Each structure stands twice: as structure tokens, then as C-alpha cells.
Amino acid sequence: MRHASLRRTCAALAAATSLAVALTACGGTTKKDVQNEGGAAATAGKADPDAALKKGLTVGFLPKQVNNPYFTTADNGGKKALRELGETYKEVGPSSATDTSGQVSYVNTLTQQQADAMAVSAQDPGALCTALKQAMKNGIKVVTYDSDTKPDCRNVFVSQASAEDLGRTEVQLLAEQIGYKGKIAILSAAQTATNQNTWIGYMKEELKDPKYKNIELVKIAYGNDDAQTSFQQTQGLLQQYPDLKGIISPTTVGIKAAAQYLSGSRYKGKVKLTGLGTPDDMRRYVKDGTVESFELWDPAKLGELAARTAVALASGQITGKEGETFTAGPMGTYTIGKDGVIDLGKPTVFDAENIDQFHF
């Protein structure tokens, strides 16, 4: 049976019966599946760098959270690139950033709908793995972007920047603002979020440098990428530590809510706040003196690179192995690094001087 018709039969079977059982049964039968055994890092088959990009592919975007402006911008970047390439874009996803079972069912939906590839920002490193492995067994290419899964649960991770750079530079920004002295806290997103947890790991590493010996990280709070929870968590931090000197919030939802709280409180300008935010969200808080500087990458470019990577995978130009190279259209050439990771580039630091040049 040809691969496409096998996929169709299997998807019909999956729709009619238990999805997992059907997909497992179908999964073991194709050549690709055998090659995919052992996970994505071992995604086999040979890359053909000269293969033409296929047209008419369906690529599903599954962000951590729809209706988060950061993901709206990112996914629209993907949509635009897919349209240019002659592919079909779709977006599905939960509205809460702590709905891992929701993300699992969206992966299954995209599998049933026989998408050619999916781009997923994972709420949790492990929770989606069974579903994603089933998708890959069915010949669907899986790109994670923004927030990774374990490496064997996807073909490629499109990372916004080096995770180490992001973690370390956020500490450096805050340390300068508080004069290398005092208590600090982190306001993160969901407790399971792969991206935030990786960055926090590097923040702790950076803090080990003796130049930070007078800085004490007193608490990591979780706002779950929910505006209200993040606002309340900020309030709670200041109640618990009235002498707090600074907060790092490595989430666009968190930093915005924290800035909103601080700007309306007696802590405005006194408790420093930095982290990852969008210029559009943060402009007013930079202008009113609540925030000095923060950073981010261009989310639209991240979505675009995820889309172009998905198409390159589905066209056979790359398989996800370290050292493979491909051209992401006008974005230029990218090389797949260790563990199947591609870095978008360097983040930008925004402050009063440059923020008006950026609109996203």
C-alpha cells in the first residue's frame, strides 16, 4: 500500500476506533515507521538537500496557548510563510497554558486530520510525547518551536535564541539595575514549561558567579501565563518580601502583569523588573518609568522559521540530524545543531532609547 493511502486508511481507522490503538497498529507497518523507531533524534532516511519544496502541504500550528498575543504574532509569521510557499496553515490549541491534556488532544486531532507537519510549543516536556510519537509514526513531521519536548518526541526544535544566553542575560540586566545587591524573585509561567524552566536553570548558574554574591534569589512564583494569576503572584511576592529589589519574569504574560501591578503601586521604579516581553505590551511601562529594559526575539520570525523548517522536513531536505543544512527562504541558511536544535538568532534588548522602533 502506498504511504498516502495507508495514512488515509489508518486515519479513518483511528477516527472510528481508539486512536492510540489504531495508530499503533498502523504505525508499525511502513518503512518510515521502522526508520523512526527510537525517536526523532534518530529520524532516519537520508536528507536530500536538493529536493524541491513540496506544495499543498498542511502544517498545523499548536501553540501553548491561543489568544496569547505572543503566539498570535508567532503563528501569523508561520501562516504568512506557508501561504507564500503554497501550503495550507491551520492553528489549534488550548486557551490555558496549563492544559496539557488539551494539547494532547489537539495533537491527536492533527494526526487524525492527516496534517503533513505540525509545529508545537509544548506546555510540558513529556506530556505530549506519546501523542507526538504516534504522529511521527504516521509520517507526520514534528517541529517544536518556542518550548521544546524531550528530543525524541520531535524531529527538530526551533529555538528562539540560545537558552543559555537568554537565562544569563536576564540576570545580567537585573543585576545592573539593582546595583548587584538585594533580594530578587522570578515570576515564571507554568511550572512545567520547558522553555522557562531551562532559562531559570541558566539564571541559577549565572547567579553562582561571585559578582552576584550579594544577590539572593528568594522565590520562584508561577503565574501560569494567566494575567490575573501573574498579577496576584506579583502582589504576593511584595507582601512576602517587602524589601525585594527586583523581579525577572521570563514570560510575556508575566512581565506585563507584573509591570501593571508595580506601576500602580508604591514600588514603581523602586522594585526593578526585567525579563521577556513584547515592545507593544511594555512600551507604556518603559515610558512611565516602571521598567528600564527587557528583551525578546521577533516572534513572527520564530513562527516563520518553524514553518519553513516543517516544510523542509516534509519535503525531505532535512531529517533532523545534527549538521544538516537548509535554506529557510529569505531568512537564509540554518544548520541543525546538537539534539536537533536550530537557533533563530540573538534576542534584542529594548529600552527607552529604542523601543519606539519596534512594533509587535
Compute the CA torsion angle 5, 11, 14, 19 (nearest 10 deg). Answer: 120
Beta bridge partners of residue 342, listed in sequence order: 158
C-alpha of 66 from chain center: 13
Helix or strand run (H / E) with residue 89: strand 88-91
Q: How far apart are CA 184 and CA 200, in angstroms?
A: 13
Q: Is 86 left (phi over 0), alpha (psi -120 to 50) or beta?
A: left
Under the binding rule (CB under 6 A), the answer on residue 252 touching ligand RAM is yes
Number of H helices, E strands in the chain: 12, 14
CB of 170: closest distance to ligand RAM in angstroms?
11
For ligand RAM, the closer CB: 108 or 251: 251
Query: Phi and psi for 15 in degrees, rounded to 5?
Result: -70, -35
SS3 56: coil
Residue from 57, 119, 276, 342 binding ligand RAM (CB under 6 A): 276
Residue from 7, 64, 133, 137 binding ligand RAM (CB under 6 A): 64
CB of 68: closest distance to ligand RAM in angstroms?
5
Site track for ligand RAM across 293-332, x = CB under 6 A: ----------------------------------------
Considering only 31-39, 62-70, 177-185, 204-212, which stretch makes contact with ligand RAM by CB under 6 A?
62-70
Considering only 22-30, 231-239, 248-256, 335-343, which stretch makes contact with ligand RAM by CB under 6 A?
248-256
Residue from 73, 147, 197, 290 binding ligand RAM (CB under 6 A): 147
- Give the distance between the most distant pair of CA atoms in the chain: 70
Considering only 125-133, 151-159, 247-255, 329-337, which stretch makes contact with ligand RAM by CB under 6 A?
247-255
Residue in this structure with the C-alpha cell 507526538, named with its chain if needed: 132
Query: Phi and psi for 257 in degrees, rounded to 5?
Result: -65, -40
Under the binding rule (CB under 6 A), the answer on residue 225 touching ligand RAM is yes
Under the binding rule (CB under 6 A), the answer on residue 281 touching ligand RAM is no
CB of 54: closest distance to ligand RAM in angstroms?
29
What's the order of all strands across the beta sheet hosting 341-343? 88-91, 58-62, 117-120, 141-145, 156-159, 341-343
Identify whether the C-beta of residue 228 lies closer than 8 Å to the C-beta of residue 289: no
What's the grid cell of residue 48? 536530500
For ligand RAM, the closer CB: 7 or 301: 301
Helix or strand run (H / E) with residue 299: helix 299-314
Under the binding rule (CB under 6 A), the answer on residue 229 touching ligand RAM is no
Under the binding rule (CB under 6 A), the answer on residue 134 touching ligand RAM is no
CB of 255: closest distance to ligand RAM in angstroms?
8
Burial bucket for residue 134 (CB in 10 Å: 0-12, 13-18, 19+): buried
For ligand RAM, the closer CB: 227 or 331: 227
What's the grid cell of residue 7? 495514512
Considering only 64-72, 80-88, 149-157, 208-216, which stretch makes contact with ligand RAM by CB under 6 A?
64-72
How many residues of this chain interact with ligand RAM, rule: CB under 6 A?
13
Task: Give the ranges where 113-241 is alpha helix by DSSP (H).
Answer: 129-137, 163-177, 194-207, 227-240
Residues 184-203 that bind ligand RAM (CB under 6 A): 189, 195
CB of 273: closest distance to ligand RAM in angstroms?
14
Residues 80-99 that bind ligand RAM (CB under 6 A): none
DSSP class of residue 72 equals H
Residue from 251, 274, 309, 317 binding ligand RAM (CB under 6 A): 251
Under the binding rule (CB under 6 A), the answer on residue 68 touching ligand RAM is yes
Residues that bind ligand RAM (CB under 6 A): 64, 68, 70, 121, 146-147, 189, 195, 225, 251-253, 276
